[in-house]
Amino acid sequence: MIPVVALAGETKVTCSTCAACCCQLEVMLITDTGVPERYIDIDEWGGEVMLRLDDGWCAALDRNTMMCTIYEKRPLICREFEAGAEDCLNERKGIATAYL
């Protein structure tokens, strides 16, 4: 595996400088972190997932700030998805940052 290394002059990825592409992924709720009911949907197999809007974005994302409105109660997978880590960078490929 080739390590991911930030190049000189490359913008550091943070939640506030990101296009929030991770907020367009299917998020299964496998543990109870206190996600409010209004943000929970049921998938075709009967499992709980984060509700997504018609355009595919997570319903808990504030589209003005691109920040999570339920950050303290966000799902486990969102807690483990580290901004700037390999999984994050892979999801961002081909997507421009929203705030440069």
Q: Which of 77, 95, 100, 93 is nearest to 14 (CA)?
A: 100
Q: What is the pTM of this model?
A: 0.68
Phi, psi angles (nearest 5°) of residue 62: -80, 110
pLDDT at residue number 34: 94
Taking the alpha carbons of 53, 56, 60, 65 in that order, is the dihedral positive or negative?
Answer: negative
State the average pLDDT over residues 38-63: 94
Query: Per-residue confidence at 97, pLDDT binned at 50, 70, 90?
Result: very low
Six token digits for residue 63: 């589209």
HEC profile of 53-85: CCCCCECCEECCCCEECCHHHCCHHHHHCCCCC
